[in-house]
Structure 1
């Protein structure tokens, strides 16, 4: 059995590899991939593996985006640290998940489920990924955020937000009118709620709105410099490895 691991946490990937070897000694780990972009490239250029272990939160975004670019016709076992409603959607569609931190027993159960579904997958049948994604994302993305500022709650409509960023170890919303609000959620949690056609996870500190982008300039070392209509404290740079992914998002929204 050829297995692909898509996981951006090196410690978790190593632990997963060790457990797989213990549970299925004859299994071959083809590759360990850390990003959405690298996963799309690998799966587009190589033969499909027999099984994929896939983290939901990757270095450059959510792994759901992989399915939008590549037709995956093998079982996928999702690994995640968040026990949210999406996990039930995966199980309803015949795809299992393991919750971090996972154990050897979790891996054994996952393989048992793959074995039970073997005949199903041999027929090259997979869940309707479009339907799955529509269930995972609210229609059009989350419409608003409830924030607390100056001793009162305020509703911030998502289409008025220029970007989300981390300042002083806390997430902040910055609106198109330059108003700023603290938010008690992680960027990973926020990004999972947003419309992927309107918002882009630029890096670990910024999520930007397409409508807030003023212009994009080439930068040193084949990077891209993204300028917003609302000034940011630092330059928003995209490295050369992710620049094509960003431009693809800009062009194919």
Structure 2
């Protein structure tokens, strides 16, 4: 069995490779990719593997963007720390949805499902459930409209449209508003990214999630990176790495 792993967390990818070597020593890992851009290039150029293990939140975007560019005909096992993408996953060749941190038994169960599916449809074509699932699916989320914060012994809500960017500083997540008010938030940047509108906010790197309306200009930087300047000063220089730069520019253009 030829397997491709699409995962941007190095430790998770290594753990998965180790488990697969123990459970399926005859299998071959024929590719490892960390981004949507790299995965699309590899899947477009090479033969389709027998199975793909795919993280949902990749370095440059959600993995579902891969399916917009490449027709994937093999089963996919999705691995993620969040469960809100399950319906979308099963619309895209998903045979299992494994939550992180996964165990050896989770991967064993996923491989068993792949084998059962292969045996069942050995003489048949896979049914097209896209129409049924699209009718069952809820409307696309528009994202949260506000965040609840606690400051000066009081609770208040901060409207999303007033937020210029979210950032991490000393392991704490902060909100920076357009009026330069700053609030701490008891959520991870991964959780916030999953809850806001992907059309309005972009995760430029592991420390920053920015509002489109806060962008002043973008300029090329060393090593094919992008330097993003906002209307407000940021504690750190905002750089988008070369793997993510194409997705970022596409996001800016898709208005």
Contact 2:229 2:238 in 1 (8 A): yes
How many residue pairs get aligned? The number is 250
The structure-2 alpha-carbon separation of the partners of 1:219 and 1:90, relative to structure 1 and needing over 3 Å to count, comes to closer
Which residue pairs with 2:249 in the alignment? 247
1:86 to 2:97 alignment: no
1:165-199 Cα deviation digits (max 9, x unpaired): 01221111112222221111001111111222211
Contact 2:148 2:157 in 1 (8 A): yes
Pick which of 50-59 and 187-196 moved more. Answer: 50-59
TM-score (norm 2): 0.85
1:28-70 Cα deviation digits (max 9, x unpaired): 2111112232222222332222211112233334323333443
CA distance in 2, matches of 1:117, 1:16: 21
Which residue pairs with 1:179 in the alignment? 181
Name structure 1 gaps, 5 residues minimum: none
The structure-2 alpha-carbon separation of the partners of 1:131 and 1:178, relative to structure 1 and needing over 3 Å to count, comes to farther
CA distance in 1, matches of 2:48, 2:199: 27
Q: CA RMSD in A?
A: 2.7
The structure-2 alpha-carbon separation of the partners of 1:92 and 1:250, relative to structure 1 and needing over 3 Å to count, comes to closer
CA distance in 1, matches of 2:89, 2:242: 33
Which residue pairs with 1:73 in the alignment? 73
1:191 to 2:190 alignment: no
CA distance in 2, matches of 1:126, 1:185: 38
Name structure 2 gaps, 5 residues minimum: none
CA distance in 2, matches of 1:244, 1:95: 30
Alignment match of 1:146 (pick from 148, 160, 168):
148
CA distance in 2, matches of 1:131, 1:156: 33
Which residue pairs with 2:19 in the alignment? 19
Which residue pairs with 2:97 in the alignment? 97
Contact 1:138 1:193 in 2 (8 A): no
The structure-2 alpha-carbon separation of the partners of 1:126 and 1:79, relative to structure 1 and needing over 3 Å to count, comes to farther
TM-score (norm 1): 0.86
CA distance in 2, matches of 1:182, 1:138: 28
Which residue pairs with 1:112 in the alignment? 112
The structure-2 alpha-carbon separation of the partners of 1:70 and 1:146, relative to structure 1 and needing over 3 Å to count, comes to farther
3-state SS, counterpart of residue 117 of structure 1: helix
